Amino acid sequence: MNKKTFFWVGAAITAMTLSCTSVKEYQKSRINDSEMSLSSRKVEKNELNFQSYREGASGANGGKTGGGCGCN
């Protein structure tokens, strides 16, 4: 084995062994806190804006509402 191959094999093994870590029980409760919140997220806001725009009954971003066809 030449030095270059030995170096890269050693670097790969080191990276594989150091990349794994154990998470303590008290840390597991906070892993997905931001994703699990029920507050308005940017994705939901974007989807609501798109739906409002496509429907045509209200302005974008849930602005002024009104009938799309003008009939009563």
Token reading at 36: 């699990």
pTM of the complete model: 0.29
The angle at the Cα of 15, spanning 9 to 19, to the nearest 5 degrees, equals 155
CA proximity to 47, closest of 34, 33, 60:
60
Query: CA-CA distance, 55 to 24, in Å (whole number)?
Result: 48
Quote the CA–CA distance of 14 and 30 in Å, as a whole number. Answer: 29
| Mean of per-residue pLDDT scores for the chain | 73
1-35: pLDDT as tens digits: 799 999 999 999 988 888 777 878 887 777 767 66
